[in-house]
Structure 1
Amino acid sequence: MSSCGLPLETSEHASMALNSRPSPTSTVHGANMSDVPPVSKLELNNRRHSEGDAPLRTGRNTSELAGRGTTIDDLPDELLLEIFSYFSFTENIDVLQEVCPRWKILAQDSHLWLDKKYVVGYKTTEEEAIATFSAVPQLRTVILDKDVSPGVLEALSASCPHLTTLEATYLQVLTYLEADNLFAECKEIRTLTISDNSFDVDVRFFDALARVADLRVLHLGVYLPQKTSFPLNLLADTCPHLCDLKLGSCGNICYQIRDAEYFVSTHRHVLERLSISWMSVEGRCIVPLLSACAETLCRLEVFDCNERTVEEATDMFATLGRVHSLRQLLLHVSDSKVRHLIPAVFENGGLPKLQQLSLSCLIADETTRALVPLCPDLRELELVSCEGHTDALFEPLCRLEKLEKLKINSCKCLGEYAMSHIAKLPALNTLEFRDLKFDKLKPSVDCILEISGLRWLYLFESDCWAIPFDKFPGRLVNLRVLEVDCCEGDQIALDRISAQMPDLTVEGYLWEPFPRQYSQNCFV
């Protein structure tokens, strides 16, 4: 290992490090790294003092440099930190920290790790994860994409006291002792995603959670498919600063209305985002309680609106329209008797600030006809698993002059005219399709070429053989990102447009199913 005092050109490790010149957005294990803005020496010294680090070192003066050449060791700490900010996650650990003690100290500076995240993926061994935690004590964000052993959690809590974000898979169940140890050491956690089963296993989990005094975001994944009840009253006392709460998905996590009332009353000045079931275990609707948060609540997702009378649903939707600060609304309405009442949310000037709307399950053609004049400022629309409509559903959307993003997920009713209506959206720049067979959209599927302002196109779990990729060059001249994931289609055509459209970033690849290949290769 070379000494920092050697000239740069004779330092093998330093030369390797400085010549690699990675992009400031390098990734590791799927972890994004963003540019880190330069900071002053005073700011860095203050931050290092608060983190328990030594003060910054200045460069050598002129008299010290007399009689010998300048080396990289003569650079001041703040300049080295600026250089180090351009190195990737793995290069920091495997290269910079191996050069010399000074570089290792600087490479672990908190400033370099504020915007990085570490993902423990399925291919990551537990030994690798533990070693990474030890090498990066200033790590702020950890994502557990697989369930890990108590030893990994213990290493995380012991090595990374400044952790601010922990996202764990729903399969990861924390015991009370594991949670108590983790939260005792990582008291700066502000964002936490865990399984709801952690709370079910031991109610003392709330005592452990109380150690994280500044928790702002809590998202609960569903470990078991059956419905479980969650004590919102305990959460209200434990997390006074909570502004973002997600209770499972599809209404799997229930609550008692009295607990919900207490939670909303204690958080009425801080609650900004909420994902929750429409109804409590007693069958009472939470929407009337949300008027207390009308000034702060900007995002609401509500699940499982079932078994309501028309009168009850009408009142419920009208009440929702009085939460006037909402900018994002995600409605899951599966009851066919009340789906036509959704526009009541927007009548009489309801939700004037709304910019993003997501509708799930059942929706009729007349729903969009009624919605469009009531939501003139809508910028994003998502349709999820919608049934019972025709292609005429999309015809009124062309009057939404500000609609920039359209997401269509698992909607089986799209037919031969759908894309012709979608192509007429005047401000559309982002399209996302999931679980769709584009063959069903013929012949209008070619109308995608008419969306001249399209910049982002996302395709997930879809049959894409009918998409005219070969005609994209020269037509979709503004397209900058094309992302495909788990899609069937012509990869050769995708490769061709990658070469013909140099400004286009293509992520992922198309695959050809075995039966099609088999028939081509084995039969004449």
Structure 2
Amino acid sequence: MQSFLHPVHKRKSEEICDTDAKFSCSVESEEDAYKSDFHICDLPDSILLKIFRYLSHKELLLSVALVCQNFNALTKDPHLWRYINLQGLLKVTDKTLVHVTTISNNVLSVNLTDSKFITDEGVIQMTSKCRHLQRLKLVRCLEISTAGMAAIAQNCRFLQFLNLDCCTRLTDEALSQIGNGCSMLQTLYLDQCLNISDKGVENVAKGCHKIKALSIGQLPQLTDHSLDAISEHCPEMEQFNCMSSGFSGQGLGMYIGRWKKLHFLEVSDMKVVNDCVVKAIVSKSPAITDLNLSLCRNVTDVGVESIVRYLPHLKRCYMAACQITDAGLKLFAENCKKLISVDFGWCVAVTDEGAQAVCDSLPVLRHAGLVRCDKMTLKKSLELCENFPRIHVSNLWLDLQRLMQAYQNKDKASRNKELCSECHQQMGMVDVSAFTEYLAAEERGEKIEAS
């Protein structure tokens, strides 16, 4: 049939048809591409390496390297092994350690936390290859002793961070080696290294003048002699933890005040810490932003008065199990507007009034620990949670309510029974009838007016 379209319209119609044909071809080609057998192994090596950088070394060793020969070769790229983290591997031996630390000639960080099979020999071989090492974590590496520390001191002159928590075979001689060889060290953890004494701590302090962060928690054998040496030889201290150590109250008040840049301090679980000691410390350390006095049961509202007076920049304060009342909480609410996180758990005198004051008056507060403040009511806890969604209010009732999320796949009866049992056994709550009533009301869709 002859077309009755004007010549111009005819040309436009032909152009449209051509466009439709091209579009149809492009759709078909896309569908063909979609149907083609594309595999991740077809990606360029450069893209695969970028993906592998998001994986842990455990995943690289135990999964990726076993996929194919190409993946195995790519997992040995030196850029993937500059910051080595072997924490979580079930059995890391000296052979494994030496293998992974020789892939790159510029290893900067090694984490061997809980690698209980690593010995001094493995550390000696590793440090001989990792001359530029800056960070090393040997937490709970129970076979490491003086020989390993000597190798670290000799070969790792650029070391800045060293974590030796719970390395129970370390002695004063091992610390002397660190003091002699690691002059650039800035952060040192020695918690629960029970075989060291004042002499070892003094030798470290004398040799490592640049230390800014030191943790010597749970070392009751240490005396004020250690504290004196640290404060004298490490004047740039910014973070200090001596939880459960053997220092006297007088020593704490006298020596900690020497550190004008100190902003983090933990002196928790120390019977010698009372209101007078708190005042002696904070009056000389106005830069403190993080303070942990938990389990210092001789600290009362009088100590709080000193804290709010001398620490204008306080952001985090933890005073669990101290003798704090609503009056102390109101002091924080009125004077410490920069507080982000507080913990008054097990302060048995705290009531609804104190908790309300803290939540009302602290504009940037994000966490309020109120576990086992038994004079608080369930009603007030729920009100705080509802009225202050920006604040994570933590107490017995709310934590148990959150715990229910872990039991969603169980029937309600067994779940509630298990929750009440955990409430009784782990949190020390003797009478769980109120919580049982709350759960029953929740199942019925009712709101409970608890007191």
Structure 1 length normalisation: TM-score? 0.59
* Residue ranges of structure 2 left out of the alignment (5+ in a row): 1-39, 422-451
For residue 121 of structure 1, what is the aligned residue in structure 2? 88
**What root-mean-square deviation, in Å, do the aligned CA atoms of Structure 1 and Structure 2 show?**
4.3
Residues 185, 200 of structure 1: alpha-carbon distance in 2 compared, 3 angstrom cutoff: closer
Q: Which amino acid aligns with 1:285?
A: G
Aligned mates of 1:100, 1:227 — CA distance in 2: 44
Residue 135 (1) aligns with residue 103 (2): yes
Residue 273 (1) aligns with residue 233 (2): no
Residues 128, 404 of structure 1: alpha-carbon distance in 2 compared, 3 angstrom cutoff: farther
Aligned mates of 1:403, 1:245 — CA distance in 2: 29
Aligned mates of 2:113, 2:172 — CA distance in 1: 21
Other structure's SS at 1:218 match? strand
User: Within 5 A, what are the aligned runs for 1:35-184?
Assistant: 107-109=77-79, 116-126=83-93, 127-139=95-107, 140-150=109-119, 151-170=121-140, 172-184=142-154
Q: Which amino acid aligns with 1:355?
A: K
For residue 210 of structure 1, what is the aligned residue in structure 2? 180
Residues 187, 369 of structure 1: alpha-carbon distance in 2 compared, 3 angstrom cutoff: same
For residue 378 of structure 2, what is the aligned residue in structure 1? 416
Deviation per CA, 1:109-151: give whole Å up to 9, x if none. 4xx555x441232524425444322334433232322322314
Residue 334 (1) aligns with residue 291 (2): no
Residue 300 (1) aligns with residue 265 (2): yes
Q: Which amino acid aligns with 1:422?
A: L
Residue 240 (1) aligns with residue 158 (2): no
Deviation per CA, 1:411-431: give whole Å up to 9, x if none. 4636513533533675826x3
Contact 1:166 1:191 in 2 (8 A): yes
Contact 1:247 1:276 in 2 (8 A): yes
1:377: how far off? 1.5
For residue 291 of structure 1, what is the aligned residue in structure 2? 257
Residues 247, 15 of structure 1: alpha-carbon distance in 2 compared, 3 angstrom cutoff: same
Higher fraction of strand: 1
Aligned mates of 1:424, 1:511 — CA distance in 2: 23
User: Within 5 A, what are the aligned runs for 1:379-458?
Assistant: 379-383=340-344, 386-406=347-367, 408=369, 411=372, 413=374, 415-420=377-382, 422-423=384-385, 428=390, 431=392, 441=397, 445=398
Deviation per CA, 1:441-490: give whole Å up to 9, x if none. 2xxx5xxxxxxxxxxxxxxxx645675x6xxxxxxxxxxxxxxxxxx421
Contact 2:171 2:200 in 1 (8 A): no
Residue 264 (1) aligns with residue 225 (2): no
Other structure's SS at 2:158 match? coil
Contact 1:378 1:403 in 2 (8 A): yes
Aligned mates of 2:327, 2:386 — CA distance in 1: 19
For residue 496 of structure 1, what is the aligned residue in structure 2? none
Contact 1:357 1:381 in 2 (8 A): yes
Residues 409, 142 of structure 1: alpha-carbon distance in 2 compared, 3 angstrom cutoff: farther
Other structure's SS at 1:357 match? strand
Q: Which amino acid aligns with 2:188?
A: L
Deviation per CA, 1:19-59: give whole Å up to 9, x if none. 657385433438xxxxxxxxxxxxxxxxxxxxxxxxxxxxx
Residues 342, 490 of structure 1: alpha-carbon distance in 2 compared, 3 angstrom cutoff: farther
Other structure's SS at 1:120 match? coil
Residue 193 (1) aligns with residue 167 (2): no
Residue 375 (1) aligns with residue 336 (2): yes
Aligned mates of 1:379, 1:235 — CA distance in 2: 34
Contact 1:227 1:253 in 2 (8 A): no
For residue 490 of structure 1, what is the aligned residue in structure 2? 408
Aligned mates of 1:180, 1:290 — CA distance in 2: 30
Aligned mates of 1:385, 1:192 — CA distance in 2: 34
Aligned mates of 1:219, 1:212 — CA distance in 2: 14
1:236: how far off? 1.6
Q: Which amino acid aligns with 1:211?
A: G
Other structure's SS at 2:112 match? strand
Other structure's SS at 2:293 match? strand
Aligned mates of 1:279, 1:173 — CA distance in 2: 24
Contact 2:352 2:380 in 1 (8 A): yes
For residue 52 of structure 1, what is the aligned residue in structure 2? none
Contact 1:26 1:89 in 2 (8 A): no
Aligned residues: 375
Contact 2:287 2:313 in 1 (8 A): yes
For residue 507 of structure 1, what is the aligned residue in structure 2? none
For residue 317 of structure 1, what is the aligned residue in structure 2? 279
User: In terms of mean alpha carbon deviation, does 200-209 or 324-333 score higher?
Assistant: 200-209
Contact 1:176 1:208 in 2 (8 A): no
Deviation per CA, 1:219-253: give whole Å up to 9, x if none. 112155x996575422221211100001124xx34
For residue 313 of structure 2, what is the aligned residue in structure 1? 353
Other structure's SS at 2:100 match? helix
Which of 7, 22, 26 is 2:55 aligned to? 26
Identical residues among aligned pairs (%): 12
Aligned mates of 2:408, 2:103 — CA distance in 1: 44
Aligned mates of 1:356, 1:514 — CA distance in 2: 31
* Residue ranges of structure 1 left out of the alignment (5+ in a row): 1-11, 31-87, 446-461, 470-487, 494-509, 517-524
Q: Which amino acid aligns with 1:290?
A: I
1:325: how far off? 0.9
Higher fraction of helix: 2
Deviation per CA, 1:474-507: give whole Å up to 9, x if none. xxxxxxxxxxxxxx421589xxxxxxxxxxxxxx
Considering only CA atoms, is the larger Rg found in Structure 1 or Structure 2? 2
